[in-house]
Amino acid sequence: MDAVRLIVGKAGHWTVRVESDRVLYLHSQYDPYAEARRIVASWGEPKGEGVVIFGLGLGYHVLEYLQQYPSCTRIDVLEPRAQLIEWARQVTPEIFTDPRVVVHCVGGDATVKRLTEVTAEQILLHPPTVESLPPMPLKALLQEIHVIRGSEQRYREQLQINLKQNASRIHTGNVLRGQWGKFAGRPGVLVAAGPSLSLATNILRTLVDRKAIVLCVNRVLAYLLSQGIRPTGCVITESSDRAKEYWESLRPGVACPPLYALPTVSPAALANYSSDIVFVLQKGLAGTEQLARTLGADLLETGGSVSTLALSLLHYFGCDPILFVGLDLAYVDGRTHVGLGAARTTEASYTLHVPAVDGGTVRSTISWQSFRRWIEGFIASHPDRTYINASRGAHIEGTRALSHLQFEKQLEDWLNTRCGGEAAAGIPT
C-alpha cells in the first residue's frame, strides 16, 4: 500500500496525503465538509435499508451520509488502510459511536468477496479512495461498479422520459390486470440470451408444440423465429432506442407473439413492433404505481433486467414448474450471448469466478451476479414453485440443475404429467 500521511489542509481541516508515483488527497484541503456533501449528493437516496461504503478516509462523507439519511439502518464501511481507521476515530468519532455503522478493515480478497455479495446499487464509492488504490483486481472491480452506478443513474432519468412519452398509449385495454394464476400448473419457460440457448432448440420446439408457456427476452426473438420456434410471448425492458434494432433482423411479415413491455421502454422500440403490446406496470416507480391505481392494473416485481421480469411474469401466470433456458449469467465458451463470437476482454474491466451449474466455476461479472442474487431472492420468497435450471452457466440457488441431455430424457414424461396433452389457450392480451 502507498505511503499515507495525516496533514492539516490549507483551511485548517484534517486531510490525508497519499504518496505513490503521484500525490493526491483523500479530502479537500479547503473544505472537506462541502466536498462530502457533493459526494453524498452524487450517491442519491439509499436503495433498501442498508448500504456499503467503500473508503472511509477520515469519515467526512460517512458522517454526512448519516445526517442526510437517518432512515438508513445499516452502513458497512470498507477501508483497506488500517491507519486511516485510527485517524478517523480522532477526526470523526461520531461515526464509531453510531450503532448503524460498522467499519471493516479489509484486504483485497475480503473486500472483493463483500462487494460481490451485494447489488451494485447498494455500493457507494468514495472516489478519492478508489483513485488512490494501486492497479490490482480490487481497483478494477471498483471501477466496474462505478460504471454500473453511472449507467443506473442515466437509466433512471431515461425511465421518466420514456414513461411520459408512452403515457398516452397506455389504457385499461392494454395493461396487465386480472390474470393472476391464468395458467396455474402449466410449465413455464424463461428463454434468456445466454450462449447455452443454442443447445436447447430441440427442447424448446417440444415445449412450444406441447403448449408450455414460453416467454423469451427481446434479444432472442429473431433467433428463435429463425429456428422455427414461436414463443408464447416476448418480454422487453430496455429504455434505450437501440432496442428497436432487435426487430430489424425479423423477416418481413413474420408473425410475432405478444410483447410484454414496461411503460418505461423506448417508444421507438414499441413503435416498430408488429404485434400486440401488453404493458406491465412495475413496483417501485412512483409514476407506474400511480398509473396502476388509475387503470386498475396489477403491479409486478421487475428486478432490473428483462430476464427477471420474465421470471416475475411466469410466476404471476401461475406456471409450475418454471424452467430457465439460456440464463447463463456467465461467460460460456468465451461468449456472452447466443449467436455472438468470442467475448472481448474489454466487455468488463473485472470478472470473477462463481460456482457453476456443473459443480465447477465460471467467469461472470458484477452485473450478472446482481441479477443472480435478485433471482435467488425471488425464488426464496416464492417457494411455492419448482425452478429448474437447464442453462450451462452460473449456479442459481434454489433451482434444480439439469443438463440439456438429462432434461431431454425426462421431458416427455414431464410434459405428459404437466400438460396432459391438452392445448393451452394463448396468453391473454
pLDDT for position 337: 80
pLDDT digits 0-9 by tens, 156-168: 678 889 999 999 9
Query: Which residue type sits at 25?
Result: Y
What percentage of the chain reaches a pLDDT higher than 90?
A: 45
Answer yes or no: is pLDDT of 106 > 50.
yes
Burial of 295 (0-12, 13-18, 19+ CB in 10 A): middle
What is the C-alpha separation between 152 and 136, in angstroms, rounded? 25
Strand runs labelled E in 172-329: 188-191, 213-217, 233-236, 259-261, 277-279, 281-282, 299-300, 322-325
Query: What would the grid cell of residue 253 be?
Result: 411479415
* Packing angle, helices 201-209 and 404-418, rounded to 10: 0
| pLDDT per position as a tens digit, 334-375 | 777 886 433 333 344 456 788 898 888 888 887 787 788 889
Q: pLDDT value at position 255? A: 86
Residue 422 has pLDDT above 50, yes or no: no
Please check whether residue 389 is in contact with residue 403, taking contact to mean a CB–CB distance below 8 angstroms. Answer: no
Higher per-residue confidence, 138 vs 425 = 138
Cell numbers for 256: 410475432
Sheet holding 387-389, edge to edge: 277-279, 259-261, 233-236, 213-217, 188-191, 322-325, 387-389, 400-401
Q: How far apart are CA 236 and CA 2, in angstroms?
A: 47
CA-CA distance, 262 to 238, in Å (whole number)?
Answer: 8
Residue 397, pLDDT > 60, answer: yes
- For the entire predicted model, the pTM comes to 0.68
Do the Cβ atoms of 146 and 121 come closer than 8 Å?
no
Per-residue pLDDT band at 27 (split at 50, 70, 90): very high
CA distance to 61, 63, 71, 89, 101, per residue, from 94 (Å)? 12, 8, 17, 8, 10
Sign of the Cα torsion 82, 86, 92, 98 reads positive
Confidence of residue 207 (pLDDT cuts 50, 70, 90): confident
Rounded mean pLDDT, 277-293: 89
Q: Render pLDDT for 34-59 as a digit per residue (tens, 0 to 9).
A: 999 999 998 888 876 788 898 899 99
pLDDT at 215 (0 to 100)? 97
Report d(CA 354, CA 98) in Å as an integer: 35
For residue 122, is pLDDT > 70?
yes
pLDDT for res 87? 96
